[in-house]
């Protein structure tokens, strides 16, 4: 008899709150899965347990088939490259079968969860400040931001589904890092559109440095535009529909025809502007921060001389300039800068629009207040 184990692969964070929230989600999942399946979780970087620890625990419980799933909203470098490398290396070393499921992705259940968070925020704003018609409200959806147009494009699709589904007057899409437009230029653009209310929704699973950044820039831009009402919606967290989507990504792997992962992967097919990355070697570059701990240097603004009340991302720009002899690429899922201090041999393609004025370079801009 095959004993099935489930491995939930999280990114990890230097924010203890984010790590705690992920573990709560992982602990709620077994109730949605077959009773005899063992469930463990682990993180790619910073937090403990690391993915390998979770896989060890599943083997110790006698599992000979493991269904792994990326605990991520969209498929970018972490879920397309880093996690599969860890899983493939482990499977080969221990002679165990490990399958790999899809990311949460663009799914009706995820859109329902997002819509619920937005509606809750609107209801609270209406109760506190009076109703503003939806046609006079602009929605701003902020995604993580990646050096992968497939993942960035999926944020835009989610935003359109929410825009059309709820009937907002207008919708803008921004990102918290790597790509463009970043949060502050996106919000500044939204203020020029003439809407009475702007609802800012972070399409994120958990709290952390980037949520602080999104809300921090929202407060900053709101203070510069007192005639516009800014409403901060909550992130997804452990919404019932998020849990249901996670469960589906696990169970669909044992169906007759498991759905393919990463259908529009820049490593598999030519994507406009990223053609040179087809066939890139699959390798992980997170071993130097694996299991480092959520309280590592850079986990909070108190450690950063460049930050005010929230992380603006300026520290990464400064760190990159300072340590240009180190890696020249931006690839980590956190933004408080750190120098690798070593050449570990990993070479990733440089994001082609890294100098875009509305991208990370916008962090150099000084606030008006």
DSSP string, 77-144: HIIIIIHHHHHHHHHHHHT-EEEE---S-S-HHHHHHHHHHHHHHHHHHHHHH----GGGEEEEEEE-
Residue among 215, 254, 228 nearest 65 (CA): 254
CATH entry 3.20.20.70 includes domain 4-105+239-254: no
Q: Which residue has the higher pLDDT, 290 or 59?
A: 59
pLDDT tier for residue 273 given thresholds of 50, 70 and 90: low
Average pLDDT over residues 57-70: 97
H or E segment and range at residue 221:
helix 209-224
- Asked if 358 and 182 touch (Cβ cutoff 8 Å), the reply is yes
Average pLDDT over residues 6-20: 93
Phi, psi (rounded to 5 degrees) for 10: -90, 165
Residue among 22, 29, 360 nearest 207 (CA): 22
Ranges 102-106, 147-151, 197-201, 291-295: which has the least confidence: 291-295
pLDDT tier for residue 52 given thresholds of 50, 70 and 90: very high
- Grouping H, G, I as helix, E, B as strand and the rest as coil, residue 27 is helix
- Same CATH topology for 4-105+239-254 and 108-232? yes
**How many CB atoms sit inside 10 A of residue 288's CB?**
13
DSSP string, 156-188: HHHHHHHHHHHT-SEEEEEESSSSSSBHHHHHH
Residue among 186, 185, 197, 55 nearest 137 (CA): 197
Which CATH fold would you assign to the domain 108-232? Rossmann fold (3.40.50)
Task: Evaluate the CA torsion angle 212, 217, 330, 246 in order and state its sign.
Answer: positive
- Grouping H, G, I as helix, E, B as strand and the rest as coil, residue 39 is strand
Structure tokens at 290: 């694996």
Q: How many CA atoms lie within 13 A of 55 on its CB side?
A: 27
Burial readout 106-133 (b: 16 or more C-beta within 10 A, e: otherwise): ebebbbbbbbbbbeebbeebeeeeeebe
d(CA 65, CA 58): 9
Structure tokens at 254: 């044992």
d(CA 119, CA 199): 10
pLDDT tens digit string along 190-210? 999 999 999 999 999 999 999
pLDDT tens digit string along 65-92? 999 999 999 987 888 889 999 999 999 9
Instruction: For the chain, give the mean pLDDT.
Output: 85
- Res 57: pLDDT: 98
Ranges 116-130, 138-152, 235-249, 266-280: which has the least confidence: 266-280
Structure tokens at 198: 């702007």
- Res 243: pLDDT: 97
| Residue 264: pLDDT over 80 | no
- Asked if 335 and 299 touch (Cβ cutoff 8 Å), the reply is no
H or E segment and range at residue 201:
strand 197-202
Residue among 246, 229, 228, 172 nearest 203 (CA): 172
Spell out the domain ranges in the chain.
Answer: 4-105+239-254, 108-232
Helices 108-129 and 240-251: crossing angle in degrees, nearest 10, is 170
How remote is the C-alpha of 63 from its chain's centroid? 29
- Whether the full predicted model's pTM is greater than 0.95, yes or no, is no
């Amino acid at each position: 008899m095959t004993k099935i184990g489930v491995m939930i692969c999280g990114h990890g964070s230097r924010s203890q709150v984010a790590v705690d929230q992920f573990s709560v989600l992982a602990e709620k999942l077994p109730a949605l899965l077959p009773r005899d399946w063992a469930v463990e979780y682990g993180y790619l970087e910073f937090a403990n347990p690391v993915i390998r620890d979770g896989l060890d625990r599943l083997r110790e419980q006698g599992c000979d088939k493991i269904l792994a799933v990326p605990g991520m909203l969209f498929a970018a470098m972490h879920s397309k490259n880093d996690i599969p490398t860890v899983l493939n290396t482990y499977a080969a070393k221990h002679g165990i079968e490990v399958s790999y499921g899809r990311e949460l992705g663009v799914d009706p259940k995820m859109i329902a969860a997002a819509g619920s968070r937005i509606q809750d925020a609107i209801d609270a704003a209406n109760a506190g400040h009076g109703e503003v018609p939806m046609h006079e409200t602009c929605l701003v959806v902020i995604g993580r931001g990646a050096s992968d147009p497939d993942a960035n494009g999926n944020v835009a699709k989610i935003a359109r589904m929410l825009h059309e589904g709820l009937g907002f007057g207008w919708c803008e899409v921004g990102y918290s890092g790597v790509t463009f437009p970043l949060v502050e230029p996106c919000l500044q653009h939204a203020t020029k559109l003439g809407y009475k209310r702007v609802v800012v929704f972070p399409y994120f699973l958990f709290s952390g440095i980037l949520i602080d950044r999104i809300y921090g820039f929202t407060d900053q831009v709101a203070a510069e535009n007192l005639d516009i009402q800014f409403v901060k919606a909550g992130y997804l967290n452990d919404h019932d529909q998020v849990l249901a989507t996670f469960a589906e990504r696990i169970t669909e792997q044992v169906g007759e025809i498991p759905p393919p992962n990463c259908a529009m992967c820049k490593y598999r097919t030519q994507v406009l502007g990223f053609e040179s990355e087809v066939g890139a070697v699959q390798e992980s570059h997170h071993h130097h921060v694996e299991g480092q701990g959520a309280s590592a240097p850079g986990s909070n603004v108190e450690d950063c001389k460049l930050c005010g009340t929230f992380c603006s991302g300026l520290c990464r720009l400064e760190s990159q300039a300072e340590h240009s002899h180190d890696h020249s690429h931006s690839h980590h899922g956190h933004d408080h800068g750190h120098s690798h201090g070593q050449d570990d041999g990993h070479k990733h393609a440089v994001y082609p629009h890294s100098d875009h004025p509305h991208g990370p370079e916008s962090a150099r801009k000084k606030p008006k207040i």
